[in-house]
Amino acid sequence: MNKYQEALGLIKIKAPINLIEELPRHPDKKYKNRKISKIKRIVVHTTDWKTTPLRIAEYDIKPNHISDSGCPAITYHEMIGVEGDIFQTLDYTEVSWHVGMWNPSSLGIALCYRCSNKKGEDVYAPKRALLHTLEVRCGQICLNLGLTPDKVVGHRELKGTGWTMFKGSKRLRKTCPGKKVDLDKVRRNVARFMQIVLGANGLYTGKVDGLFGPKSNKAFQLYLSQE
Ligand SMILES: [Zn+2]
């Protein structure tokens, strides 16, 4: 066993629970479909509430802040529950409504935790365990879809939906997935996980430093060509 295989053995996250067929959908509306190869990024959100996929699906398909007549189905493709469960909530081929013009090329993944206080100020951080699950899950998805770690972004980082230019400077529209979520740190940990998997497969021999440079990229390309 090499050191990467040892490290991989120590990473424990739960297996995903597939709820796609169980969640309620809108009676007559449908999302557009796409090929999986159209997905170019994973967008991280917060529900800003300790909620469940069922409650989010029920909210999304009724008249809401996104659509006057409700969305066709839940807007997130996956959710990470309060206890660190990973729920698959929508097929990746469905173009759901979570980031405006970025929807056709984005996958939405939501963290179930409360970031705002009673005054609506974004002040609370998610538990480290929840972030760890997010980072490993995003790493798995990146490996499957051929996305590099820099393709994991927060809702607030996307132009138009997360921020806009106002009088020559950047103005934030959203703080999602929560101000206390350090997205650079998330990406570094996604990269670390990917380096471990690439090493465990005998394709990477460098440091597990979360810096996805030429050596990591070369190993990743080899990994993808072997599939
Ligand atoms: Zn969001």
Task: Please give the tally of structural domains in the chain.
Answer: 1
**197 assigned to some structural domain:** no
Ligand 1 centroid–CA 7 distance in Å is 32
Residues, CB-to-ion distance under 5 Å, ligand 1 = 45, 155, 176
**121 assigned to some structural domain:** yes
How confident is the model at residue 138, as a pLDDT?
98
**4 assigned to some structural domain:** no
Ligand 1 centroid–CA 118 distance in Å is 19
Ligand 1 centroid–CA 186 distance in Å is 16
Ligand 1 centroid–CA 47 distance in Å is 7
How confident is the model at residue 83, as a pLDDT?
85
How confident is the model at residue 12, as a pLDDT?
87
**191 assigned to some structural domain:** no
How confident is the model at residue 134, as a pLDDT?
98
Ligand 1 centroid–CA 110 distance in Å is 8
CATH number at residue 34: 3.40.80.10
How confident is the model at residue 197, as a pLDDT?
98
How confident is the model at residue 182, as a pLDDT?
98
Cα separations in angstroms, 106 against 18, 98, 100: 20, 9, 10
**190 assigned to some structural domain:** no
Range of the domain at 159: 12-181
How confident is the model at residue 28, as a pLDDT?
94
Q: Which two tokens stand for residue 62?
A: 């009724």
pLDDT tens string 150-192? 999 999 999 999 999 888 898 988 999 999 999 999 999 999 9
**25 assigned to some structural domain:** yes
Ligand 1 centroid–CA 108 distance in Å is 9
Taking 50 as the pLDDT cut, the residues of the chain under it are: none
CA distance 49 to 56: 10
Cα separations in angstroms, 96 against 31, 106, 107, 156, 194: 6, 9, 8, 18, 27
How confident is the model at residue 7, as a pLDDT?
97
Ligand 1 centroid–CA 217 distance in Å is 29
How confident is the model at residue 167, as a pLDDT?
87
CA distance 219 to 202: 9
